[in-house]
Structure 1
């Protein structure tokens, strides 16, 4: 009954989910307070009070029709507010007509790839990467082309990037702040990347779309500035979600913003709306479109994540781990103490530590820790990390 493709993909199933499920087993044996689960980027923090208040107001308003269908692109009034906010944040022109509300960033990425990729065309993905990207591209007949970043800084290696561009390159996927490294891509590097893309577009007579996946754009530390992708790249599509910024991952609400400089932008938006419908998403959740429209200036407390980052980062460095300090998101990506990151993750299980091998992100030899967890769990886990480090 199962298709060969899905059977094969199940064999490559996400390490993140695998470790999360391993945690369920350990919790049954040892109790939840004795298991230190850093596997899943599922924020423990609650949404801001203003977001909850907005939801309550909408539900109790008595407004008729709030659960009905609307345009497949989303409520126009919501798109107006998102466009206005996007324009202010990114420093570029943005029309409501260029906004498509989506079922989260994952839904948005699938809608974009369905709309722009012809079978066999390539999408450049920088490693380390969020593992699901490869499946999203493959879902729609595309070929992911993996380009490793600089091993010391986790910034894109432009020489290597340029070597991977060819006439089949349809898109370049940028995830900054990055999952799993927490790195914010440098503006000067991105500007040079834009020059390279422009040169290659002229050489090949093609258009290369830069797809920015930015669910962590509001989770930035230490006064680091997030470069504006639509201000740097001519042909850009930005995908965002409120899963991380408002701690609403289960509500599946996000949007696509099509750059106004894209040739035939209106036709592209029509394609996105069509794909949103025919992929079965139909439209973004009606209720939460209205919630986020009234919460665009809100965000979770960044100090909440910064405190957790600093405790965990400082402790690991003290124990001898090598790690780039995250500038954004809520992940650490240290180097494992042995070359085999999968074996290292298995050893960690002895101490009830759930970590995700870097191999699951296309970067063997490292491991990811998601620190969007309780401060108590982080504190309780520190002796376990110390015991693990003493094995090596």
Structure 2
């Protein structure tokens, strides 16, 4: 008999993917330029030329066996060394290669981190609004995901509710900053308060509590926004990173786990990740991508367009009456819908070929997410459609 649990999941497909597929089919009928697709967080700026040059050079290498062969189970040693050096230089923590494990993007990093520090029945806490895939990421490990209700005034951590939900069963806290879907970066005050609370609970319960920080948008921070490096504030922290957004490489599926060097058993956790791979069929990302990304680890694509798009949308949508906490990074915006039923609102928006994602699955009913990683000229043209949409609710 086939696995009934996964069969049931077929009826609960990602609303983001379904809307993206709808937008693609709609564009075939009315033209791509006429569909304002804010559904999928797919970077819209090109990869740096330096990465392409590295990839081409590697493909022409005199040592194709090394370039295209299996990498070691923890990742290519020289790649891990270069990433550790980059992190140490940028953030001041004493990372070495022994703290780095190469993964297939941030999702692969989270999959390993969760399995390294939890067992069946343990609890993992995250904060709404949150990336919906955290549900299978956590629950398929045997651990149980608990979601703290949002603070919709700021979208920083709702500490009163967090403290109520905390118990000795909590072995990990999973955060995402800058955040998908709000675009909000947790402030230094928020991270310091979180770290102090976790340290207190570690002493109270007599066991480590790990802070797993999901950071694919770490480099997309606007202006002078306060966006601290989380691992610098809490020693039992595990950073899960992806180059997908910083370098516009989502299709290459390349990232890493970085265990805080001050964490007890840091090197052991990385070694354990290699064994976890045996159970989930991870077996390392492609060697050629590891080697290429290591040479541009300190670089980013030209990310400035995202702040440009954010400023246009924030100004125009708030003028139309949308309530929005101004994003501090990423390429997401999280307005409140103009009716209580965000799903109905987003369905109504389809009338004007606006593809918006209702936030019920993000743990924040009444809101919707916009991924504004689309050309700026299209952002500008979308405003006319938003004006029509808003007029329907006056």
Paired with 1:365 and 1:20, the residues of 2 have a C-alpha distance of 20
Q: Give the superposition deviation at 1:240.
A: 0.4
Q: More deviation in 289-298 or 107-116?
A: 107-116
Matching residue of 1:76: 77
Give yes or no for contact 1:334–1:367 (8 Å, CA) kept in 2. yes
> What SS does structure 1 have at the residue aligned with 2:251?
helix
Matching residue of 2:107: 106
Matching residue of 1:130: 131
Paired with 1:349 and 1:81, the residues of 2 have a C-alpha distance of 46
Residues 10-48 of structure 1 show CA distances to partners (whole Å, capped at 9, x for unaligned) of 323211111112212312322222111100001121101
Q: How many residues align?
A: 392
Paired with 2:285 and 2:117, the residues of 1 have a C-alpha distance of 20
Matching residue of 1:190: 191
Matching residue of 2:249: 248
Matching residue of 2:4: 4
Q: For 1:149-298, list aligned pairs within 5 A.
A: 149-298=150-299
Give yes or no for contact 1:220–1:302 (8 Å, CA) kept in 2. no
Give yes or no for contact 1:176–1:184 (8 Å, CA) kept in 2. yes
The runs of at least 4 aligned residues of structure 1 exceeding 6 Å deviation read none
Matching residue of 1:59: 59
How high is the TM-score relative to the length of structure 1? 0.97
Q: Give the superposition deviation at 1:356.
A: 0.3
Residues 61-115 of structure 1 show CA distances to partners (whole Å, capped at 9, x for unaligned) of 3233211112111110000000011112222111111100001111111111222
Q: Where does structure 1 lack aligned partners over 5 or more consecutive residues?
A: none
Q: Give the superposition deviation at 1:131.
A: 0.5
Q: 1:52 to 1:334 in 2, by over 3 A?
A: same
Paired with 2:219 and 2:226, the residues of 1 have a C-alpha distance of 10
Q: Where does structure 2 lack aligned partners over 5 or more consecutive residues?
A: none
Q: Give the superposition deviation at 1:153.
A: 0.3
Matching residue of 1:342: 343
Paired with 1:371 and 1:190, the residues of 2 have a C-alpha distance of 27
Give yes or no for contact 2:246–2:303 (8 Å, CA) kept in 1. no
Q: Give the superposition deviation at 1:2.
A: 4.2
Q: Give the superposition deviation at 1:360.
A: 2.1
Give yes or no for contact 2:85–2:95 (8 Å, CA) kept in 1. yes
Paired with 2:271 and 2:297, the residues of 1 have a C-alpha distance of 25
Matching residue of 2:18: 18
Q: Give the superposition deviation at 1:278.
A: 2.9
Residues 106-146 of structure 1 show CA distances to partners (whole Å, capped at 9, x for unaligned) of 11111112222211111101100011011100111010000
Matching residue of 1:318: 319
Give yes or no for contact 1:72–1:277 (8 Å, CA) kept in 2. no
How high is the TM-score relative to the length of structure 2? 0.97
> What SS does structure 1 have at the residue aligned with 2:102?
strand
Matching residue of 1:86: 87
> What SS does structure 2 have at the residue aligned with 1:334?
coil
Paired with 1:300 and 1:38, the residues of 2 have a C-alpha distance of 21
Matching residue of 2:50: 50
RMSD: 1.2
Q: Give the superposition deviation at 1:4.
A: 2.3
Paired with 1:324 and 1:300, the residues of 2 have a C-alpha distance of 26
Paired with 2:356 and 2:163, the residues of 1 have a C-alpha distance of 33
Paired with 2:354 and 2:39, the residues of 1 have a C-alpha distance of 9
Q: Does 1:370 align with 2:371?
A: yes
Give yes or no for contact 2:118–2:171 (8 Å, CA) kept in 1. yes
